[in-house]
Amino acid sequence: MDTPNLETERLILRKIHQDDINEIFNCWMQDEDVSRYMYWKASNDISDTKKFVEFELGKIADDKWNRWIIILKETSKIIGTCLIYFNEDENNWDISYNLGKKFWGKGYISEAMSTVMKYAKEVLKVKECIAIHATENLASGRIIKNLGFVYVKDVPYECSGGDIITTGRFYKCVF
């Protein structure tokens, strides 16, 4: 099953397209402030964005990997991405998201992820999901709690491609 398009009041969530490379690169992939608390590392080399897009295109038909590009309806521009996937190594569903820096603090991720969580529960029939954020990333912690996740424990956490090793806050959401 392909990742479906989802819609909110202000956003369109759709699968990734090959021609998204430049917008993704310019919006967040080269921004160290965005990658600071992410597993991936920012890069000024657009070929790294091409690799990301190729990887995501290869996952579109995988119903255990649902990545959406977040489009702002008002401008039709890409502003970020969000994901719910089944982590085979950990045997659990997990969420992830990121947003271009100029779109922070406007409630877009909460809006997008609320819709993703509803899809996970109603369509994917997910019963339980986890989320982890770097303890320093307080904004992400607020989003995760507002989505209904409950703190479980602290865990080791690697950010920015492993350049930053810190502590993560591990949360669980039961539907």
DSSP 110-126: HHHHHHHHHHHHHTS--
Q: What domains does the chain contain, in order, with CATH numbers?
A: 6-124 (3.40.630.30)
**Given the structure tokens 């310019």, which residue do they identify?**
26
Residue type, 84: I
Q: What is the mean pLDDT of residues 83-88?
A: 96
The CB-based long-range contact list for 44-52 (8 Å cut-off, 24+ gap) reads 46/21, 46/22, 49/21, 49/24, 49/25, 50/21, 52/24
Using CA atoms, how far apart are residues 18 and 53, in angstroms rounded to an integer?
Answer: 7
Question: pLDDT for 145-172, tens place per residue?
Answer: 999 999 999 999 998 888 889 999 999 9
DSSP annotation of 29: I
Q: CB–CB of 5/60 below 8 Å?
A: no
Provide the b/e sequence for 90-104 (b: ≥16 CB within 10 Å).
Answer: eeebebbbbbbeebe
- How sure is the predictor about 39, in pLDDT bands with cuts at 50, 70 and 90? confident
Q: Is the pLDDT of residue 98 over 90?
A: yes
Using CA atoms, how far apart are residues 146 and 124, in angstroms rounded to an integer?
Answer: 21
Q: Is the pLDDT of residue 94 over 90?
A: yes
- For the chain, give the mean pLDDT: 95
Question: pLDDT for 117-142, tens place per residue?
Answer: 999 999 999 999 999 999 999 999 99
pTM of the predicted model as reported, rounded to 2 decimal places = 0.95
Q: CB–CB of 151/171 below 8 Å?
A: yes
Q: Which of 29-33, 72-76, 128-132, 147-151 has the lowest mean pLDDT?
A: 29-33
- How sure is the predictor about 36, in pLDDT bands with cuts at 50, 70 and 90? confident
pLDDT of residue 48: 96
